[in-house]
Structure 1
């Protein structure tokens, strides 16, 4: 009887070991070959734990795990001012810009014929902490400030949204890297690598948006337009010499238009002249006959 009981216990133990081995194999197969519905579930799990993972990353050095708390703003504006010396004003402003850590992003020069003045325009990028200081320098260097407009845009929500999406994508990338390390089948490896390529593309796109936004936040934009004074007798739009010069120029243009018009329509003019000559000859002959 004792031998029978021992034999039954041994059979049950062997069967239990076999069942545990089978269950372990099934779990391993699921981990190696995730189903198409595994990614949404994984993404939901990542989103649910994004805050906890970010805090753990800050403590343990997790890359990209940042929880933005500061208010993020983008500051930009335009100022138009009048100066007596165009070149001197430009040099003064560019020197001041360099000292404050800024740079010129765009610049152009043009002449306003209607107002009779020269305009110089450049777009300055200045560190946000030096924006007000540079703006005061620009205003002080002008003979007269014609207009000024400053705008501040709050981008905190946009910044948090981009940062959160970037962190979630990086966490998802790490999950798929772990799956790739465990994968044994070639089909599983290819499937996981395709997912990784898509995730990395999203990461690069989000990182580019975040880099651009960080640059906009760190460097404010100020578009500066300064122009020369209008002075009588200095070829301004209201001076006698300026108007006389324009009158001669317009007269020359009229003569040129007449000349080229005659060249263009010379066949028509020649035909009209021939018809007129024939008509006169006919009238003369008719008059002679009437006299006879």
Structure 2
């Protein structure tokens, strides 16, 4: 009897050791059925698809299942190998003598720093003076030199700089990208091993979803990389105010304003005439009726006297 108990214990230990050596990750399992292959896919709390179960035909070897992968990395760069990611921007208001010439100088400054002129706008204000807005993009390592060069082009009226730390978002996006890339690779392996049409359709749906997320993440990462690598400097240009706060007397402008006022008055009279025209017509008709009625009364007494 004791030999039987010992033999039973040895068999149990051997089975447990064999199960521990299968190497299946926690949260995934493989079972064998004799008639069908079924892939069941679920999602974790963050919405990242994880394959939890795959069944294979009897007699076939078990295909590797998709194990859950980390969906994010905690904030901070410790252990990630990613440098701090900063988006640098600046706004500078300059008073300059020649707005057009300064725009050309800013373009040359941007090119000298390895950047480029992104956009420019020049217009006149209410004092008939030129103003301008220029946006230049500069590599981040030349940001400080570019600011110094901009300040040297005129009188600084205001300046502000900012650095937006996007390291946490960048690290998280990289982690999500790695997660989806791993899932996509494993779904492709499962796709090659699938034989039933319904299984192929289900796996293809998951592949499409993962690929869509990868495209979205790559787009966001490309945007952040562009904003991080190339800093933005917006320069507002204005000419100095004339002495006395306004320009001198312009006789020609006064004549033009007088002519404009004259034609404006004529326009007003024409508008009033056509506005009150119905009333004028009704008044004329009423006055005509009144005159006719009054003339008729004056004729009647004269006729009576002639009869007498």
TM-score under structure 1 normalisation? 0.71
Q: Secondary structure at the match of 2:133?
A: strand
Q: Secondary structure at the match of 1:240?
A: coil
Alignment pair present for 1:148 and 2:165: no
Which residue number corresponds to residue 274 of structure 1?
284
Q: Residues 130 and 259 from structure 1, CA distance in 2 versus in 1: closer, same or farther, beyond 3 angstroms?
A: farther
The total of aligned residue pairs comes to: 248
Alignment pair present for 1:258 and 2:268: yes
**Cα distance in 2, alignment partners of residues 252 and 101 from structure 1:** 58
Which residue number corresponds to residue 214 of structure 1?
225
Which residue number corresponds to residue 123 of structure 1?
135
Which residue number corresponds to residue 91 of structure 1?
104
Are the equivalent residues in 2 in contact too, given 1:173–1:196 (CA < 8 A)?
yes
Which residue number corresponds to residue 16 of structure 1?
none
Which residue number corresponds to residue 47 of structure 1?
70
Which residue number corresponds to residue 33 of structure 1?
38
Higher helix share: 1
Q: Residues 157 and 122 from structure 1, CA distance in 2 versus in 1: closer, same or farther, beyond 3 angstroms?
A: same
Which residue number corresponds to residue 172 of structure 2?
161
Q: Secondary structure at the match of 2:68?
A: helix
Q: Secondary structure at the match of 1:125?
A: strand
Q: Secondary structure at the match of 1:153?
A: strand
Which residue number corresponds to residue 59 of structure 1?
none
Q: Deviations over 1:215-252 (max 9, x none)?
A: 0101111111112233359xx84432187367436515
Q: Secondary structure at the match of 2:205?
A: helix
Q: Residues 49 and 99 from structure 1, CA distance in 2 versus in 1: closer, same or farther, beyond 3 angstroms?
A: closer
Which residue number corresponds to residue 231 of structure 1?
242
CA RMSD of aligned residues (A): 3.7
Are the equivalent residues in 2 in contact too, given 1:232–1:239 (CA < 8 A)?
no
Are the equivalent residues in 1 in contact too, given 2:40–2:51 (CA < 8 A)?
no
Q: Residues 178 and 44 from structure 1, CA distance in 2 versus in 1: closer, same or farther, beyond 3 angstroms?
A: closer
Of structures 1 and 2, the one scoring higher in RCO (CA 8 A, sep 6+) is 1
Q: Which runs of 5+ in 1 are unaligned?
A: 1-24, 52-65
Are the equivalent residues in 2 in contact too, given 1:31–1:179 (CA < 8 A)?
no
Which residue number corresponds to residue 76 of structure 1?
89
After alignment, is 120-129 or 102-111 more displaced? 102-111
How many angstroms does 1:83 deviate by? Answer: 0.9
Q: Deviations over 1:269-289 (max 9, x none)?
A: 642662586489579969x89
**Cα distance in 2, alignment partners of residues 264 and 49 from structure 1:** 75
